[in-house]
Amino acid sequence: MAGDAVAWGRFWLCSMGKEGVFMFDATTREGQRKWPMQGVVQPKREDVLRLPRVHISTHPVMAHKMTRLRDRQTQPPDFYRLVKEIGALLAYEATETLALEEEEIETPLQKMNGQRLAGGIGVTPILRAGLGLAEGFREVISDAQVWHLGLRRDEETLQALEYYNQLPHQVEFQVCYAVDPMLATGGSAIDALTILKRRGIPRLSYVGIIAAPYGLMKLSQAHPDVDIYIAALDESLNDLGYIVPGLGDAGDRQFGTF
Ligand code: PRP
Ligand code: URA
């Protein structure tokens, strides 16, 4: 089995041989084929570029940081810092339509009517990989409340499983941003937004770093009322359900758990 590694993962080594993608348990070395996305028809980039409510960053500083983030040479401390910085840039873009209300203040010279954000803002990091993004958000909106939600993608079925929930029971907030770097099949994002909607949050946005066309299409169809902000739209998912070219496993690269 010769070839290049095609995915980052805690327990799996993956190689691309003549027969396709072959995964084997790195601990036991017992070979097993697990190709959850094999044969699944995926939309192309052009098919999803003009979906309503989808915003893809065009900022040159974002493009610069994305290149550093994707680079396999970038080590966890720098990777985490970059996720935070990209989170702050995305927060700036995703908050452009927030409602304001008037506030009377006094400058050292005179009274004036200023403006403040109308109503509170919630940020829901989808654990674990959403943590760095949420930190970036708080650099822009320091008093945002953070509501943690733990979802883990089963790597064989690609289904998201909920394991932690710290969402508030009564919510009177202007908006909540669900943040997670990777929108792959869309399963985690779709489930997170469904869970948030059940809590009665009036307005929701999704903020991610990289999306695959497949996940973007699924998310847009499942939650057509949700604004989606991303830094980059990639080509596709590989047979394992990883985004390509992507950046590998966003959680492992932030927290050094290879
Ligand atoms: C990753 C990522 C998303 C999810 C995306 O998390 O951060 O939450 O996979 O895949 P999907 O669109 O196919 O659902 P993972 O489940 O690996 O957990 P982690 O954040 O703890 O690494
Ligand atoms: N989760 C990740 O961290 N990376 C991917 O490419 C897909 C899901």
* 121-134 pLDDT tens trace: 999 999 999 999 99
**For the ranges 12-21, 32-41, 159-168, 214-223, which has the lowest average pLDDT?**
12-21
Task: Report whether residue 14 contacts ligand 2, using a CB cutoff of 6 Å.
Answer: no
| Ligand 1, pocket-test mutation among 86, 133, 182, most atoms within 8 A of CB | 182
C-alpha 42/C-alpha 52 separation (Å) is 19
Task: Report whether residue 208 contacts ligand 1, using a CB cutoff of 6 Å.
Answer: no
pLDDT given at position 97: 94
CB 240 within 8 A of CB 21: yes
| Ligand 2, pocket-test mutation among 243, 252, 253, 257, most atoms within 8 A of CB | 243
Instruction: Give yes or no for residue 71 having a pLDDT over 80.
Output: yes
Enter the pTM of the model.
Answer: 0.88
The verdict on whether omega for the bond into residue 77 sits within 30 degrees of 0, i.e. cis, is no
C-alpha 93/C-alpha 186 separation (Å) is 21
Instruction: Give yes or no for residue 252 having a pLDDT over 70.
Output: yes
| The two structure tokens encoding residue 150 | 């733990």
The mean per-residue pLDDT over the stretch 17-24 comes to 36
**Nearest by Cα to 178 from 195, 200, 164, 158:** 195
Measured over the CA atoms of residue 38, residue 190, residue 130 and residue 135, the dihedral's sign is positive
Average pLDDT, the chain: 89
More confident residue, 22 or 40: 40
Which atom of ligand 1 lies at the shortest distance from residue 188's CA? 14
**For the ranges 14-23, 79-88, 204-213, which has the lowest average pLDDT?**
14-23
pLDDT given at position 6: 39
Of the listed ligands, the closest to the CA of 152 is 1
Task: Report whether residue 95 contacts ligand 1, using a CB cutoff of 6 Å.
Answer: no
The full set of domain ranges for the chain reads 1-34, 35-255
**For the ranges 10-14, 59-63, 115-119, 155-159, which has the lowest average pLDDT?**
10-14
pLDDT given at position 172: 84
Structure confidence at residue 153 as a pLDDT band (50, 70, 90): confident
Instruction: Give yes or no for residue 216 having a pLDDT over 60.
Output: yes
Task: Report whether residue 250 contacts ligand 1, using a CB cutoff of 6 Å.
Answer: yes
Q: Which CATH architecture has domain 35-255?
A: 3-Layer(aba) Sandwich (3.40)
pLDDT given at position 163: 96
pLDDT given at position 210: 98
The mean per-residue pLDDT over the stretch 40-55 comes to 97
pLDDT given at position 234: 98
Of the listed ligands, the closest to the CA of 129 is 1
35 CA to centre of ligand 1 in angstroms = 17
